[in-house]
Structure 1
Amino acid sequence: MRGNSIRTACGTLLSLVVVAGAAGCSNGDGSASDAASKAASAAASIGSQAADAVDSATDSAKKKLDEVKDGVDAKDAVKLGDVTTDAEGSSTVTVTARNTDDSTKSFAVKVDFKDPAGNLVDTVVVTVSDVAAGESKDATARSTHKLSGDVTATPGTALRY
């Protein structure tokens, strides 16, 4: 899925480069092909940075989930609210965990943020701590960086421990 996100971002930026080159745009110091080459290089750099951010967030999420000992699958006990943007520009979503166990438990929930095409643009793990038996509790998942456009959130792995 990450590959689709990178191809989409690079393809969009490359299309803009081609249009600019076809229109004969330049900075006055070089040819249109020089301007297009510089723009293509910038597009590749942006695509690489986006891929690196997703890779880093994915690695971090995996490490956090690996730290959970004796966790049981609890994906059916987790619900996500609507994605909103906070004052700092991060995407946020309320995570509600319902504890069906007979003792207090905590939850580690991986939340995947996706663009309108379904491509992964960020992932985080949020902990919902000390949920009393038979009760529900909320926590907020916050993206690791600013996300643009319409972003959705889906639950990934959810562990009760």
Structure 2
Amino acid sequence: MAADVWRRGAAGVLLTVMACGATGCSDGGGSPSGAVSSAAAAVKSAGEAVSSAAAEAGKAAASAAAVAKDKLAEVKDGVNAKEQVTLGPVATEGDGYTTVPVTVRNTDDGKKSFAVQVEFKDEGGNLLDTVVVTVADVPGKGTGQGTARSTHKLSGTVTAQTGTALRY
């Protein structure tokens, strides 16, 4: 969203500069008009807003990743089960949070639980959020389901992938 503001601001500066180039806009003293200066200031402000939003998103993702790491560290005697995890389609709920169905397949004979880290990413592959879903008491040779839900509202095109998955 902030990137769209920046693009619109940049387009406005470009159009203003092009118009002034064609019509010779000035303040009478041979310098560019206030419109060009105002447009340039708007682009700078939009760029700062984008940077600020990106920094906040980065902090939120880093915080969520730390929480996920701690939660996974609590699992005792877990084995890698990433190949036994399937994620469904990513959806945005009515409240703005992003969800994805998680299905686990227990290849063991006995009942097991799973801790699955789901990473939500933007189109560029940047981490937006990460959560750990626990699917408990999956019967031997059976499947279990859960839902990963983002910790905050995400915007734009969001994808999900399995980070770490442990069966225990």
TM-score, normalising length from structure 2? 0.77
Change (3 A) 1:152 1:37: closer
Alignment match of 2:109 (pick from 90, 102, 106)? 102
Superposed, 1:126-137 pairs within 5 Å as 126-137=133-144
Change (3 A) 1:87 1:151: same
Q: Which residue of 2 aligns with 1:19?
A: 11
Provide the rounded CA distance (Å) in 2 between the counterparts of 1:106 and 1:49: 34
Q: Which residue of 2 aligns with 1:45?
A: 52
Q: Which residue of 2 aligns with 1:5?
A: none
For the residue of structure 2 that corresponds to 1:88, the secondary structure is coil
Change (3 A) 1:10 1:87: closer
Provide the rounded CA distance (Å) in 2 between the counterparts of 1:73 and 1:120: 22
Question: 1:116 and 2:116 equivalent?
Answer: no
> Percent same amino acid among aligned pairs?
51
Alignment match of 2:95 (pick from 75, 83, 88)? 88
Cα deviation, residue 56, structure 1: 1.2
* Higher share of residues assigned strand: 1
Superposed, 1:70-81 pairs within 5 Å as 70-81=77-88
5+ unaligned residues in a row in structure 1: which ranges? 1-8
The structure that has the greater radius of gyration is 2
Q: Which moved further from structure 2: 72-81 or 111-120?
A: 111-120
Matched residue type, 1:55: A
Q: What CA RMSD, in Å, does the superposition of the two structures yield over aligned residues?
A: 2.5
5+ unaligned residues in a row in structure 2: which ranges? 18-34
TM-score, normalising length from structure 1? 0.80
Deviations 1:85-135 (A, max 9, x none): 222111111111111212211100011112223222221110001111111
Q: How many residues align?
A: 150
